[in-house]
Amino acid sequence: MIFVLSGPGGAGKNTIVDRLLARDPTLSESRSWTTRARRPGEPEDAYNFVSRPAFEEHVRNGGFLEWAEYVGNLYGTPLPDAHDGTDLILVIEVQGAQQVLERVPGAVMILVVPPSREVQEARLRARGDYDEHIEARIAIAAEEERIGRALAHHVVVNDDLDRAVEEVAGILASYRNPPAEEDPRHA
């Protein structure tokens, strides 16, 4: 199965997924490529950090399941490796989410939103984003949420991390062992 976790920067998508991965060995996360520079203190393996020409060549070679430009940088999900028995979770912005939903029948889209712009901005500052990146991310957040809500099978408000993690875990579980009449993909 492919689960897509999407939503504006600072919604807490990565924090939620890190918690889920730590407790669920049957879930794995795709490692994206990006042309963005690594932030101070960001782990080297947070992304496959590449140049724009290298990214564009991978696009031409058909190497991405989806890719998008976000605040001046390119981000993409490489085509998944041969199936290893785990369900895959993609943590991506909404343009990429749309592409995955078009390409992968049955993919499940969960939109994570922050409880307020103030909380979103505080989270972006806390993780060391550059000021111009923070402003740009806040500026597009409302539009991202609008697009995301139109695509999403589920919307989770990340007001309290523990609660949001449990809500997302419950959503994943419902698809892995689904009572069919509750599956919103059948709606």
Which residues lie near ligand 5GP (CB under 6 A)?
9, 13, 32, 36, 66, 68, 70, 75-77, 91-93, 95-96
Residue with Cβ nearer ligand 5GP (77 or 120): 77
CA distances from 132 to 14, 118, 181 (A): 21, 16, 46
Closest CA to 171 of 127, 111, 116, 125: 111
Closest residue to ligand 5GP, based on beta-carbon distance: 96
Helix (H) or strand (E) holding 143: helix 131-151
| Least Cβ distance, residue 177 to ligand 5GP (angstroms) | 27
DSSP class of residue 131 equals H
Given the complex with ligand 5GP, which of 76 and 153 has the nearer CB atom?
Answer: 76
Task: Closer to ligand 5GP by CB, 92 or 109: give it.
Answer: 92
How many Å separate Cα 40 from the centre of its chain?
A: 21
User: Is the dihedral angle over the CA atoms 133, 138, 144, 145 positive or is it negative?
Assistant: positive
Q: Please report how close the Cβ of residue 182 comes to ligand 5GP at its closest, in angstroms.
A: 27
Which residue, 145 or 167, has its beta carbon nearer to ligand 5GP? 145
Least distance (Å) between residue 187 CB and ligand 5GP:
25
CB 163, min distance to ligand 5GP, A: 21
Sign of the alpha-carbon dihedral angle for 158, 160, 161, 162? negative
Decide the pairing of beta strands 2-6 and 87-91.
parallel
Q: Report the nearest approach of ligand 5GP to the CB of residue 139 (Å).
A: 14
Nearer of residues 3 and 70 to ligand 5GP, judged by Cβ: 70
